[in-house]
Structure 1
Amino acid sequence: MKFAVIVFPGSNCDLDMYNAVVDVLGEDVDYVWHTATDLSAYDGILVPGGFSYGDYLRCGAIAQLAPVMNEVRKAADEGKFVLGVCNGFQVLTEAGLLPGALIRNDSLKFRCHPVGLRVENANTAFTRDYEKGEVVTIPIAHGEGNYYCDEETLARLKANGQIVFTYDGSNPNGSVGNIAGISNEAGNVVGMMPHPERAVSELLGSADGAKMFTSVLNAWRERNGAASTR
């Protein structure tokens, strides 16, 4: 499996994402600059955290206009696997690949600490190695992680099983429904505010994020008739 880590001016979690693929999976991974116009060589697209374009206008608002995002949309439509984390989640919502929006934390403060996440959907490409209801520990680092959508969209997310993670215990940002991560209807595109790439080893305080990466590799292998990592 070959991964692309998209790099925008202001990305700062691209190295973490790259190393997570190498350390957890040992698969091929490239940094891909925001000006790229062809992602056809990649099976998994990772949109990392950071402050793309300085978060001007809104988080992700300028990044979603970058040339590479046309290719990310195309990859998603083709059923390829796309994960957006933190600023990457914001970019995916701005690009229309996921519903809703990320707004300022209700505390108006930057929050950076481990949180408990409850796995609400273990059937997406990125969560299949978890159990539904499992509680994991993943760090957050955001000032605008407050997920918002209208009541109609929230009802649709619930009905379709698109709520992937919720905060277990206290909600660190005020997000509606305690939402920490969602997917598209097909389950091949996932966005989340917590950073699984920063939780792939006990040396980092938690290895609970590693299953995000093994999940998508197993999904890809199953699709291509290869052996699972389990």
Structure 2
Amino acid sequence: MTPGRLGEVLGLPPIPWGTWTEEALYISPAALRHGREPGEMAARLRALPGIADVRVRGDGFLEIAVTVPGELVAEIGPAAAPAGGASPWTDSPRTWSNPGFVVRYAHVRAVAVQRWAAELGVGGEFRPELLDGRWDRAVLRSLAEVHGRRVSRDPGWAAYAEQLALAYHDAFERAPALPAGDEQPSARHAARVRQARAVRDVLAEGLAALGETAPDML
């Protein structure tokens, strides 16, 4: 179950909640918005594939846990963003102290992963359930926000791009998408390459919204 599909049922994108370390959770006020009883909407959601649990909070919001959070990667691709914004970042210094460098470098890394994966023969069927490690889930948690950002009056692309970039740098270094040394390409590598592509596309969208062209090299 993906945030896009949940949004179709709920009428608005769900909000990712918590860290996702143990449970991939969204919240939604959709039952209140549609004038339905929260219990009625919860029962409808529980009947859908890919839903692990639905809980009704005291404030009427729904807590929706999904079974395979990595599925959301498959619905993220290149998207047009309104251009013409003002970037809050400078080009230099090109160090970790500059958020602009952090974001641009994350895009460069995600682009490079696609190229290196092709050279190393990483590929095959995308298995989203393999994006189950701590660092993978942190990236998924950040990617899950993109639907809500796109429809928000104040999407906050700069802060969001920084958040996603930091999560991706951690994953790039601690949960490699590419085999090292004599290691053979695996389905987990392929899943992480697909996740890196989603990161690339979302960062490019965010940079475009801020009036920048996403770089392939620095």
TM-score, normalising length: structure 2:
0.23
Larger Rg: 2
The structure with the greater share of residues assigned to strand is: 1
RCO (CA 8 Å, sep 6+): is it higher in 1 or 2?
2
The structure with the greater share of residues assigned to helix is: 2
TM-score, normalising length: structure 1:
0.22
